[in-house]
């Protein structure tokens, strides 16, 4: 799949730095570094999704005006300047509008996102429950094809039994007939630790997993640590220290570290052996598109642009040894 990121520097910035070549190099370097960071950020978000370019697995909450609220900890995916489009479902409806709304502000503490469109509902038709996508990463069709890499939400689905045709058949391979092809799934009914231990056991029994790491969101990690407060031991010390430096669970003769993935949403966690989920690219990822000496003039602005691009595909090498924990909401 293709992924692109433009790096733009205005002609004015170049003109103002003509007497100081160091300033021009610094301006270009800053823009290129920003583009690289955004490229990798978007790639990591897509690696956790379904492959349809969604930036949150749950629908937004929209009241009025230019803003909306993102739930489930997915607000960390959104960055000022991102162009967004919306649809009533992830892959079952056409876009509300092909016109994008650019993010102008993100409040990461409240999940409130503000856009450049003064009336999202009246102008673009957005409403509560809509799913948001990075513009260009979701086809405007009621039956879109994937234009992003297949992420963990598809490889290891949290809903069982699996009936969604875009999940049962992935990259031309029909996975029905053997539930282990979808990985293991455990839904939390008791404590979070019990859920993770049950998932680890399933990965060992069904997939012969020999090493696992459990990945959760930062909010989920904090909640698990709070759940374990009764397991803390205190000693006399001149320095007051509380909490856990690291978390792990023991199950089925494995000690499994619990680690934070900053882009994971709060409702799921993944148990993965090393190398089970693999990303392969055609050359460097990303690389600079060397067209007309890399820099090209932008037709609708007084600026020049360099494009970062990459071609990559994601593999799930051993789904039976992997698993997803479907957690209860954090309270």
Q: What is the pLDDT of residue 173?
A: 86
Position 50 in a domain: yes
Is the predicted pLDDT of residue 267 greater than 70, yes or no? Answer: yes
Position 239 in a domain: no
Domain with 73 in it: 2-147+281-314
Give the C-alpha separation, 286 to 42, whole Å.
12
In the block, tokens 């031991």 appear at: 233
How confident is the model over 28-76, as pLDDT tens digits?
777 778 888 899 999 999 999 999 999 999 999 998 999 999 999 999 9
Q: What is the mean pLDDT of the chain?
A: 90
Position 322 in a domain: no
Q: What is the pLDDT of residue 21?
A: 65
Q: What is the pLDDT of residue 234?
A: 61
Position 219 in a domain: no
Position 237 in a domain: no
Average pLDDT of 83-98?
Answer: 97
Position 257 in a domain: no
Position 276 in a domain: no
What separation in angstroms does the CA of 182 have from each of 1, 103, 158, 167, 177? 22, 35, 9, 9, 10
For the entire predicted model, the pTM comes to: 0.89
Q: What is the pLDDT of residue 293?
A: 61
Q: How many domains does the chain have?
A: 1
Is the predicted pLDDT of residue 297 greater than 80, yes or no? Answer: no
For the chain, counts of helices (H) and of strands (E):
6, 18
3-state secondary structure of 16: helix
Give the C-alpha separation, 308 to 5, whole Å.
5
Position 213 in a domain: no
Give the C-alpha separation, 212 to 204, whole Å.
9
Is the predicted pLDDT of residue 219 greater than 70, yes or no? Answer: yes
């Amino acid at each position: 799949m293709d992924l692109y990121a433009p790096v733009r520097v205005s002609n004015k910035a170049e003109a103002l730095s003509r007497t100081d070549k160091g300033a021009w190099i610094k301006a270009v370097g800053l823009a290129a570094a920003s583009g690289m960071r955004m490229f990798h950020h978007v790639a990591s978000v897509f690696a956790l999704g379904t492959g349809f370019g969604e930036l949150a697995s749950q629908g937004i909450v929209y009241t009025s005006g230019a803003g909306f609220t993102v739930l489930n900890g997915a607000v960390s995916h959104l960055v000022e300047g991102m162009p967004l489009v919306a649809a009533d479902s992830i892959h079952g409806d056409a876009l509300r509008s092909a016109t994008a709304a650019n993010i102008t502000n993100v409040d990461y503490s409240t999940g409130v996102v503000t856009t450049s469109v003064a009336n999202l509902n009246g102008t673009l038709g957005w409403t509560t429950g809509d799913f948001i996508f990075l513009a260009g990463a979701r086809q405007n069709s009621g039956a879109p094809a994937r234009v992003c890499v297949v992420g963990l939400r598809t490889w290891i689905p949290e809903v069982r039994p699996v009936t969604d045709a875009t999940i049962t058949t992935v990259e031309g391979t029909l996975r029905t007939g053997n539930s282990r092809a979808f990985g293991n799934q455990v839904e939390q009914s008791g404590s979070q630790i019990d859920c993770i231990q049950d998932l680890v056991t399933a990965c060992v029994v069904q997939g012969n997993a020999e090493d696992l790491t459990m990945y959760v969101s930062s909010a989920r990690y904090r909640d698990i640590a709070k759940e374990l407060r009764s397991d803390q031991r205190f000693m006399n010390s001149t320095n007051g220290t509380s909490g856990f430096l690291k978390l792990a669970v023991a199950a089925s003769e494995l000690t499994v570290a619990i680690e934070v993935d900053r882009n994971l949403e709060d409702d799921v966690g993944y148990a993965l052996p090393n190398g089970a989920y693999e990303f392969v690219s055609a050359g460097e990822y990303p690389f600079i598109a060397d067209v007309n000496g890399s820099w090209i003039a932008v037709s609708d602005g007084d600026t020049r642009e360099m494009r970062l691009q990459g071609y990559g595909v994601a593999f799930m090498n051993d789904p039976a040894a992997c698993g997803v924990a479907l957690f209860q909401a954090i309270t």
